[in-house]
Amino acid sequence: MRLPPGNEFVQIFFWKYRCNDNRYLFLGDKITPMELTLKYILEQLENIDDISIEKESLGEFHSLGIQGCAPLKDAGPGEITFASESRFFKYLNTSRAAAVVVPLDAPLPAREENFPVFIRTDNPKRLFFRILSLFHPRVTPSFTVAPGVVKGDNFVAGDALTIESHVAIGNNVSLGRGVHIMPGVYIGDNVIMGDDVIVKPNVTIMEGSRIGSRVVIHSGSVIGSDGYGFTPDMDSGHEKIPHAGFVHIGDDVEIGACNTIDRGTFGCTSIGRGVKTDNLVHIAHNVIIGDYTLIVAQVGIAGSTTIGKGVIIAGKAGISGHLNIGDRAVVGPGAGVLGHVKPGETVSGIPEMPHRLWLKVARILPRLPELRKKILALEKKVASMTK
């Protein structure tokens, strides 16, 4: 990102912590904070097709300097924040922020002060986080290959390649343009990777894996490990089943830290376009995940299950094997899914049930000991009456 003149950002061994009393603690050397004018910020975002911004009400505040972003309750002078939902509007009257991004229909408080300045938009959350990216632009990679990188035979890569230290790459590997491989990564034989892929430190990508373009794989994840497959024999020992398949990851996917995605026993374990997984997710062999599905932390999906498009799987949910989860279904947090889920259905609980039913069950569960006592007392009373 090119900054306007006079707004260069200088940072030397700097950490910044926000305290409860809204002060800042600075550790390290001197810092000159980045400051962008409101006009400059909106100019960078005005050509984005999926966001409309109402700028007419800003008036003379176009020259207002913004030095950073912060949560609504913590934001102070020189910072911009956002209030995307009605439950946050009550804080607008007391906000100390320089500017607040709000929905077009937000009721703005009448204040004697000129601040905060309210920026109306049809998608406050998306606009705010794009503003945040202006203050925290992606670090430009070095476009070099570090000394000592191990590369196998027939290695092919596109332009603008960055490979950092202690990386090992197998035979017949093909990397696209603008790929960035961070330290400690292992890439096995016959791996194919598209353009603009970022592989963060200590990731393992096993042989035969196929990765699309604009994919991000966070630290510690393993792509293409063997699935959990054994022929059970309790007397002479369990015999391992060979896993001859591979993993395919589509374009625009982001894989969280410490994910494990097993290769297919035969064929493919497939992660569709635009899928986003949180940390500590396990996806077993031959699972198929549809486009734009969201998977939150500590989810486990057993083998040969098919997840539809646009599904949301909340944290700590477990999904059994050989099931179908329909398009745009929602699996609630901590759910244990043992059966098929219809498209558009929302399920929760163990075993899974319609979410509204689970809410009733959850309210009853803490009362079960009390209800048991009452039932036993009634049974005793009925028994005494029949004697």
Catalytic member of 166, 285, 340, 355: 285
Cβ-Cβ contacts under 8 Å for 346 (sequence gap 6 or more): 329, 330, 332, 354, 355
Helices (H) and strands (E) in the chain, counts: 4, 41
Name residue 17's beta-bridge partners. Answer: 25
Distance CA 312, CA 296 (A): 8
CA distances from 354 to 329, 339, 351, 359, 361 (A): 11, 12, 10, 9, 11
User: What would the two tokens of residue 214 be?
Assistant: 């604009």
Neighbours of 280 (CB within 10 A): 19
User: Quick one: which H or E segment has residue 38?
Assistant: helix 38-45
User: d(Cα 223, Cα 179) in Å, to the nearest integer?
Assistant: 17
| 340 counts as catalytic | no
Strand 239-240 relative to strand 230-231, pairing: antiparallel
Q: Which two tokens stand for residue 351?
A: 């075993």
Distance CA 158, CA 196 (A): 10
Which residues belong to the active site? 285
